[in-house]
Chains A and B, each alone.
Chain A
Amino acid sequence: MTLDALNISIAWPEIFLLSMTCLLLIVDVFLKQSQRDASYLIAQFTLLGTLVLTWVNMTTERAEAFNGTFVVDPLADVLKIFICLVVALVFVYSRDYLKDRNIFKGEFYVLGLFGVLGMMIMVSSNHMLSLYLGLELLSLSMYAMVAFNRESGSSAEAAMKYFVLGAIASGMLLYGISIIYGVTGSLSIPVIAESLVKQSEMNIGLVFGLVFLVVGLAFKLGAVPFHMWVPDVYHGAPTTVTSYIASAPKIAGFAIIIRILVEALGALQEDWQGMLIILAVLSLGVGNVIAIAQTNLKRMLAYSTISHVGFILLGLLAGTNAGYSSAMFYILVYSLMSVGGFGIILLLSRAGFESDELNDLKGLNKRSPWFAFMMLIFMFSMAGVPPTVGFWAKLSVLTAVVEIDMLWLALVAVFFSIIGVYYYLRVIKLMYFDEPEDTTEIKNTTEMQMALSLNGLIILLLGVYPSALMSLCFSVFA
């Protein structure tokens, strides 16, 4: 094996990320607590560097490396850039929160960056093993991050729950992979796809494997009926970690669905389409209806995430390029909205006060009209009301579904988004129509306020001019 066959150069962003993270791990040991900001800066620099390296090496061609286990294509590039961007936002929003709770430690950034590495490997995997490797790297980082606040009992409980259910899901996925291996004789995604095309008759083992894969993916993504962990983990984890879990990993989850279901098992589309329909309809229904009953903002956003997952599945199950593109557009937009929504919670929280109850938002417009307006944008965007970008995400998914003559699915989706509108409106009602109960001044670093404002304005600007991002997503699957 020569070095050329490894084609190492296309993996520079990952290599840079790994080296910098290891460096951070070492440097952090020698820092005093008062110098901890240096770790933060190194982490941000790492993300920026990774982003730039990905950006500079963007290709329109598909290239493989490491003996065909690693692939770089336009899909991977775009998703990686967004992952870095969103995690960078999470890190900006997190600093004050961590300091206030005396958990401002280098490990947060190390784990976060290892998670990013895992996501990037998932996004670029061309082989079931590298995919699983990336997934586990991400999951293990997240288990540890959920338990990051050692003093908090609910964090520990959430981490335990997450770990047990996540391990089951990984097991399911692994089992599915091994069955597929048994049927096709390979773990390489292009080889699997090829051998499935050749197979004319349906193999019962194959369907078995498919079911396990879909269940595993649904667990990871948090689709109903495999969603039980989502609200508890979102609620129990420190809000910084919640904002991490709720945003970037969903992008990676989308990527592995594309890699497994579309690229490897594309020939079985008829089979997985039916399964995804069930998952999508249940997620839309359960997510939107149960969100109404929540009094905790983090739990409400957790159920809202479940309903968004339903919409993303709608795009995927269309099984057309337009469907995949619209799901991709949706997931990118969703990650920006979600990180913004949690950013507002982080903005309002302070030492000894989590600000994660719905009632804590009361009268925000009187305390800070600007950030109330930002939250208004995030909420209307999640509800899919124009002129925010959430509307375009829903429109493109609905279009994809109508295109394959599944009008009834589009009607189900809009029906549940009507229900969904109610709980988003309630947040706006609390912010604008109620009197504040808590009049403490909102104090945060300028950096965080700038980033959060930028985040909100991006949602608004993308709503006014979605064309660029939309064309980008559609060109990926052209």
Chain B
Amino acid sequence: MFADWPLLSLLVWTPILGGLVVLLAGDHGGAQGAKRLALIFAVATFALSIPLFTEFDTSTSAMQFVERYPWISTFNINYYFGVDGISMPLIILTTFITVIVVIAGWDVIKVKPSQYMAAFLIMEGLMIAVFSALDAIFFYVFWEGMLIPMFIIIGVWGGANRVYATIKFFIYTFIGSVFMLVAMIYMYFQSGSFDILEMHNLKLSMDEQFWIFLAFLMAFAVKVPMWPVHTWLPDAHVEAPTGGSVILAAIMLKIGGYGFIRFSLPITPDASHMLDWLVILMSLTAVVYIGFVALVQNDMKKLVAYSSISHMGFVTLGLFMVFMIWENPANSDLSGATLAVEGAIIQMVSHGFISAAMFLAIGVLYDRMHSRNISDYGGVVNTMPVFTAFAVFFAMANVGLPGTSGFVGEFMIIIASFKANFWFAFLGATTLIIGAAYTLWMVKRVYYGEVANDNVAKLTDLNSREFLIMSLLAIAVLILGLWPAPLIDVMHASVDNLLHHIAVSKL
């Protein structure tokens, strides 16, 4: 029944228009009105995203649910939506997490709740559009437009140093993206349109590919974020309100990884091949060095932020390892590359759930104690046993415990990296140790031991709202960990197609 529906347009515009409605409704009719309205729109969008999964044809790598209308004829820019097996899971992740974020902000946000909710809804629509846009300029409009609500979210509802953090966030991302814009315009004159799929087939010389690749790398590396352009992330995370951190970690970072898959690899395969060592170097540095940086953090949010950078390093490692896997004569078949890319995508989805849960857990504590310092806590398990059970579960998932979603992606990437180079596997696998160290050490200091002070003694356990969001996320993490097959099925055809595409030189 959904075959004729313009599903993607509905998914994009329902939350955006919903956000405007919430904005116009304002806070006059009591704060509850705006929140209820926001929840209705968020749930409706999530419901609309379910047919995307159920009606999805897993046998093809072609774009599905395609909508294409001329938009700006002067530059041949089209209103062009479509999803494949790589973007579809990320869209569902987005709609799911937004529902969680709306519920999480329910009692917490006291200042201008309607603007807060509206910003998140508009953001949701923009992010879904980024994942489904198939015209480069159309993509770019949403990619940049996304910065505006996030800028406001961090700046208005953030912590003490929010202004610095949000301006840094905006400018870093802006710097990355404008050069990508120039690259897109350049390719427009080569191919005659901004159609991303046509860009995939565009012949480009090595020189051209080299510069285009660097422009894309600037844009996506900042977004992922990769070492050494990651410094905006801890600042932004620490200052952002809980909901902002969740969206940032769960979805915005994925957009960087998605960009590599949609743009860098297929458009500039030869340059990606030539410079894969650079990306791998940056990824491994993120995995190892940033892991150590996370170890010494005193602020819980900062710790999780660094942990996110380290985990995202796995994603970029998996994506750019494929060339080395192909070149390695020891490989009898090419399945290693598929494993690496699929692992990277699963890692993205899984990290979306886990990082969201980690930040929400910190949010739960912060709402009660108004502190993110690890040293202010201790023995929380005594006063909040249910909450601690969830928190420890998510910490285990973050470490990559088998049975949780965190395990699947990391395991696939490490296995694949053995086929590329032993040392990649070795360095990558250290994260299992470092990650366990910083996560579990934090768990030990915050949750276990004697009750540290009077404030901790006065803590109350989860209320039903918090219990609801925690259990929803826990279920997602478990399902993905125990039974990742549906997700792999969905993306398999698209990943195969991607790999075939990048295996062919464009020169």
Residues of chain B from 91 to 150 with CB closer than 8 A to chain A in the complex: 112, 115, 137, 140-142, 144-145, 147-148
Contact B174 A387, beta carbon cutoff 8 Å: no
Contact B174 A418, beta carbon cutoff 8 Å: yes
Residues of chain A from 360 to 381 with CB closer than 8 A to chain B in the complex: 365, 369, 376, 380
Contact A414 B137, beta carbon cutoff 8 Å: no
Which of A402, A411, A422, A474 has the most chain B CB atoms inside 10 A of its CB?
A: A402
Contact B170 A467, beta carbon cutoff 8 Å: no
Contact A398 B181, beta carbon cutoff 8 Å: yes
**B126 to A, closest residue via Cβ:** A387
Minimum Cβ distance to chain B for residue A477 (Å): 12
The answer to whether the Cβ of A438 comes within 8 Å of any Cβ in the partner chain is no
The answer to whether the Cβ of A425 comes within 8 Å of any Cβ in the partner chain is yes
Contact A425 B181, beta carbon cutoff 8 Å: no
Report A-chain residues with C-beta under 8 Å of the C-beta of B179: 411, 414
**A392 to B, closest residue via Cβ:** B72
Q: Mark A414-426, 1 if CB is under 8 A from B, else 0.
A: 1101100110011
Minimum Cβ distance to chain A for residue B309 (Å): 23
The answer to whether the Cβ of A243 comes within 8 Å of any Cβ in the partner chain is no
The answer to whether the Cβ of A42 comes within 8 Å of any Cβ in the partner chain is no
The docked-state distance in angstroms from the alpha carbon of A380 to that of B156 is 17
The answer to whether the Cβ of A40 comes within 8 Å of any Cβ in the partner chain is no
The docked-state distance in angstroms from the alpha carbon of A429 to that of B164 is 10
Contact A432 B144, beta carbon cutoff 8 Å: no
The answer to whether the Cβ of A335 comes within 8 Å of any Cβ in the partner chain is no
**B70 to A, closest residue via Cβ:** A467
Contact B185 A385, beta carbon cutoff 8 Å: no
Residues of chain B from 158 to 175 with CB closer than 8 A to chain A in the complex: 162-163, 166-167, 170-171, 174-175
Report B-chain residues with C-beta under 8 Å of the C-beta of A385: 144-145, 147-148, 174
The answer to whether the Cβ of B74 comes within 8 Å of any Cβ in the partner chain is yes
| CB contact between B178 and one of A417, A432, A433, A465 (< 8 Å): that residue | A417
| Given A411-B179, A414-B182, A418-B175, A391:B141 Cβ within 8 A | yes
Report B-chain residues with C-beta under 8 Å of the C-beta of A417: 178
| Given A395-B185, A410-B185, A425-B170, A467:B175 Cβ within 8 A | no
The docked-state distance in angstroms from the alpha carbon of A268 to that of B378 is 78
Contact B73 A429, beta carbon cutoff 8 Å: no
**Considering only CB atoms and an 8 Å cut-off, how many residues of chain A contact the other chain?**
36
| Given A369-B115, A414-B179, A418-B174, A395:B155 Cβ within 8 A | no
The answer to whether the Cβ of B369 comes within 8 Å of any Cβ in the partner chain is no
Contact A433 B175, beta carbon cutoff 8 Å: no
The docked-state distance in angstroms from the alpha carbon of A407 to that of B187 is 12
Minimum Cβ distance to chain B for residue A114 (Å): 36
Contact B145 A386, beta carbon cutoff 8 Å: yes
Contact B171 A398, beta carbon cutoff 8 Å: no
Which of B137, B151, B162, B171 has the most chain A CB atoms inside 10 A of its CB?
A: B151
Report B-chain residues with C-beta under 8 Å of the C-beta of A403: 189
The docked-state distance in angstroms from the alpha carbon of A433 to that of B164 is 11
**A433 to B, closest residue via Cβ:** B155
The answer to whether the Cβ of A471 comes within 8 Å of any Cβ in the partner chain is yes
Contact A467 B72, beta carbon cutoff 8 Å: yes
Q: Mark A231-245, 1 if CB is under 8 A from B, else 0.
A: 000000000000000
The answer to whether the Cβ of B422 comes within 8 Å of any Cβ in the partner chain is no
The docked-state distance in angstroms from the alpha carbon of A471 to that of B475 is 52
The answer to whether the Cβ of B483 comes within 8 Å of any Cβ in the partner chain is no
| CB contact between B171 and one of A387, A392, A422, A428 (< 8 Å): that residue | A422
The answer to whether the Cβ of B2 comes within 8 Å of any Cβ in the partner chain is no
The answer to whether the Cβ of A399 comes within 8 Å of any Cβ in the partner chain is yes
Report B-chain residues with C-beta under 8 Å of the C-beta of A380: 148
| CB contact between A433 and one of B147, B148, B156, B174 (< 8 Å): that residue | B156
Report B-chain residues with C-beta under 8 Å of the C-beta of A426: 167
Q: Mark B5-16, 1 if CB is under 8 A from A, else 0.
A: 000000000000
The answer to whether the Cβ of A50 comes within 8 Å of any Cβ in the partner chain is no
Contact B178 A399, beta carbon cutoff 8 Å: no
The docked-state distance in angstroms from the alpha carbon of A403 to that of B186 is 8
Report A-chain residues with C-beta under 8 Å of the C-beta of B115: 369
Minimum Cβ distance to chain A for residue B424 (Å): 34
The answer to whether the Cβ of A124 comes within 8 Å of any Cβ in the partner chain is no
Interface secondary structure of B, over-half rule: helix
**B188 to A, closest residue via Cβ:** A399
Report A-chain residues with C-beta under 8 Å of the C-beta of B188: 399
The answer to whether the Cβ of A39 comes within 8 Å of any Cβ in the partner chain is no
Which of B26, B71, B74 has the most chain A CB atoms inside 10 A of its CB?
A: B74
The docked-state distance in angstroms from the alpha carbon of A369 to that of B188 is 40
Report B-chain residues with C-beta under 8 Å of the C-beta of A414: 178-179, 181-182
Minimum Cβ distance to chain B for residue A428 (Å): 7
| CB contact between A425 and one of B112, B156, B167 (< 8 Å): that residue | B167
Contact A421 B171, beta carbon cutoff 8 Å: yes
The docked-state distance in angstroms from the alpha carbon of A421 to that of B144 is 12
Report A-chain residues with C-beta under 8 Å of the C-beta of B141: 386-387, 391
| Given A385-B147, A433-B155, A467-B73, A418:B171 Cβ within 8 A | yes
Report A-chain residues with C-beta under 8 Å of the C-beta of B175: 418
Minimum Cβ distance to chain B for residue A235 (Å): 25
| CB contact between B144 and one of A376, A391, A415, A471 (< 8 Å): that residue | A391
The docked-state distance in angstroms from the alpha carbon of A391 to that of B141 is 9
Report B-chain residues with C-beta under 8 Å of the C-beta of A428: 151-152, 155
Contact A429 B75, beta carbon cutoff 8 Å: no
The answer to whether the Cβ of A396 comes within 8 Å of any Cβ in the partner chain is yes
Report B-chain residues with C-beta under 8 Å of the C-beta of A18: none
**A470 to B, closest residue via Cβ:** B74
Report A-chain residues with C-beta under 8 Å of the C-beta of B145: 385-387
The answer to whether the Cβ of A190 comes within 8 Å of any Cβ in the partner chain is no
The docked-state distance in angstroms from the alpha carbon of A414 to that of B148 is 19
Residues of chain B from 394 to 422 with CB closer than 8 A to chain A in the complex: none
Q: Mark A324-352, 1 if CB is under 8 A from B, else 0.
A: 00000000000000000000000000000
The answer to whether the Cβ of A436 comes within 8 Å of any Cβ in the partner chain is no
The answer to whether the Cβ of A466 comes within 8 Å of any Cβ in the partner chain is yes
Contact B167 A411, beta carbon cutoff 8 Å: no
Residues of chain B from 442 to 472 with CB closer than 8 A to chain A in the complex: none
**A400 to B, closest residue via Cβ:** B185
Minimum Cβ distance to chain B for residue A381 (Å): 11
| CB contact between A432 and one of B142, B152, B171, B186 (< 8 Å): that residue | B152
| Given A380-B148, A418-B171, A432-B152, A470:B185 Cβ within 8 A | no
**A471 to B, closest residue via Cβ:** B74
Contact A429 B185, beta carbon cutoff 8 Å: no
The docked-state distance in angstroms from the alpha carbon of A22 to that of B142 is 51
Minimum Cβ distance to chain B for residue A336 (Å): 18
Q: Mark A256-274, 1 if CB is under 8 A from B, else 0.
A: 0000000000000000000
| Given A386-B145, A418-B178, A432-B152, A398:B73 Cβ within 8 A | no
Report B-chain residues with C-beta under 8 Å of the C-beta of A433: 155-156, 162-163, 166
Report B-chain residues with C-beta under 8 Å of the C-beta of A376: 148
Minimum Cβ distance to chain B for residue A24 (Å): 40
Minimum Cβ distance to chain B for residue A220 (Å): 29
The docked-state distance in angstroms from the alpha carbon of A403 to that of B185 is 9
Which of A369, A392, A426, A433 has the most chain B CB atoms inside 10 A of its CB?
A: A433
Contact A421 B170, beta carbon cutoff 8 Å: yes
| Given A428-B151, A467-B72, A467-B74, A402:B144 Cβ within 8 A | no
The docked-state distance in angstroms from the alpha carbon of A398 to that of B72 is 16
Contact A398 B182, beta carbon cutoff 8 Å: yes
Report A-chain residues with C-beta under 8 Å of the C-beta of B137: 395
The docked-state distance in angstroms from the alpha carbon of A433 to that of B137 is 31
| Given A418-B175, A432-B155, A402:B186 Cβ within 8 A | yes
Residues of chain A from 463 to 478 with CB closer than 8 A to chain B in the complex: 465-467, 470-471, 474
Instruction: Name the 4 nearest CB pairs between A and B, nearest first.
Output: A386-B141, A414-B178, A433-B155, A467-B72
Query: Would you give 10 A-B contacts (Cβ < 8 Å), ordered by A?
Result: A391-B141, A398-B182, A403-B189, A411-B179, A421-B174, A422-B171, A429-B163, A465-B71, A470-B72, A474-B74
Q: Besides A398-B185, A432-B152, A471-B74, 10 other CB < 8 A contacts?
A: A386-B145, A387-B141, A395-B185, A399-B75, A407-B182, A410-B182, A418-B178, A425-B171, A429-B166, A466-B72
